Amino acid sequence: MPYDVDDDLRVFRRSDPDFPTTAAARRRLVDMGRVEGEGPLARPAVPPQPLAPARADIGLSAGPGRPIPDGPCVPLGETPDGTLHLDLTQLQAGRLLVQGSSGAGKSFTLRHLVEEAHDYLTTMVVDPEGEFENLARHIGATTIRAAETAPDGLTAAALRARHHRLPLHLDLTDLAPDERITRAAAFFAGLVLAPREDWAHTVLVVIDEAHLLAPHLAASARDAETRRLGVATLTDLCARGRKRGIAPVIATQRLAKLATSVVSELHNVVLGLNIFDRDVARAGDLLGFGAERAAALRTLRPGEFYALGPALCRTPTLVRVAPTVTRHMGATPALVASADVTPEQARALLDLDALREVPRGGTPALSGRGGMRALDAFLLDQHAAAAAKVVAALRAISPNATTAADLCRHLGAEPDAVHGALDLLAGAGAVDTMPRGDARIARLSARLRLRGADANVVGLA
Give the DSSP per-residue string, 228-274.
HHHHHHHHHHHHHTTTTTEEEEEEES-TTTB-HHHHTT---EEE---
What pLDDT is attached to residue 318? 94
Task: For residue 313, tell me if it sits in a domain.
Answer: yes
DSSP 8-state assignment for residue 414: -
Same domain for 81 and 12: no
Same domain for 252 and 395: no
Domain total in the chain: 3
Question: DSSP assignment of 71-88, as one string?
Answer: S-EEEEEEETTEEEEEEH
Alpha carbons 21 and 140: distance in angstroms, whole number: 8
Same domain for 215 and 70: yes
What pLDDT is attached to residue 79? 92
Same domain for 357 and 293: no
Question: 412 in the Ramachandran plot: left (φ > 0), alpha (ψ -120 to 50) or beta?
Answer: left
Same domain for 283 and 351: no
Same domain for 315 and 202: yes
Instruction: Give the tens place of pLDDT for each residue, 242-280.
Output: 899 999 999 999 898 899 999 999 999 999 999 988 899
For the domain that residue 251 is a member of, what is the CATH number?
A: 3.40.50.300
Cβ contact 42:36 at 8 Å: yes
CA atoms lying within 13 Å on the CB side of residue 339: 6
Residue % of the chain over a pLDDT of 70: 75
What pLDDT is attached to residue 232? 92
Same domain for 315 and 354: no
Cβ contact 184:230 at 8 Å: yes
Of 190, 185, 279, the C-alpha closest to 235 is 185
Strands 122-127 and 168-171: parallel
Same domain for 184 and 151: yes
Task: For residue 55, tell me if it sits in a domain.
Answer: no
Those residues with Cβ within 8 angstroms of residue 174's Cβ, 6 or more apart along the chain or in another chain: 145, 147, 458
What pLDDT is attached to residue 322? 92
pTM value is: 0.65
Alpha carbons 237 and 250: distance in angstroms, whole number: 11
First to last CA, the chain: 60
Task: For residue 333, tell me if it sits in a domain.
Answer: no
Cβ contact 334:316 at 8 Å: no
Distances (CA, A) of 433 to 82, 96, 366, 461: 62, 48, 17, 21
Cβ contact 122:200 at 8 Å: no
What pLDDT is attached to residue 164? 95
**Which residues in the chain land under pLDDT 50?**
1-5, 8, 11-12, 14-20, 23, 39-64, 360-362, 367-369, 453-458, 461
| Strand arrangement, sheet containing 431-433 | 402-403, 441-444, 431-433
Task: For residue 382, tell me if it sits in a domain.
Answer: yes
Task: For residue 302, tell me if it sits in a domain.
Answer: yes
DSSP 8-state assignment for residue 47: P
| Structural domain containing residue 240 | 64-321
Task: For residue 144, tell me if it sits in a domain.
Answer: yes
What pLDDT is attached to residue 15? 46
Task: For residue 330, tell me if it sits in a domain.
Answer: no
Same domain for 312 and 216: yes
DSSP 8-state assignment for residue 215: B
For the domain that residue 398 is a member of, what is the CATH number?
A: 1.10.10.10
Helical ranges in 307-383 per DSSP H: 343-350, 371-380
Those residues with Cβ within 8 angstroms of residue 434's Cβ, 6 or more apart along the chain or in another chain: 354, 355, 356, 357, 358, 440, 441, 442
Cβ contact 184:227 at 8 Å: no
Same domain for 276 and 187: yes
Strands 203-207 and 122-127: parallel
What pLDDT is attached to residue 140? 94
Same domain for 302 and 199: yes
What pLDDT is attached to residue 14? 45
Q: What residues form DSSP beta bridges with 206?
A: 125, 249
CB atoms < 10 A from the CB of 61, how many? 13
DSSP 8-state assignment for residue 200: T
Same domain for 348 and 304: no
Those residues with Cβ within 8 angstroms of residue 29's Cβ, 6 or more apart along the chain or in another chain: 5, 8, 9, 12, 35
Task: For residue 111, tell me if it sits in a domain.
Answer: yes
Alpha carbons 319 and 83: distance in angstroms, whole number: 8
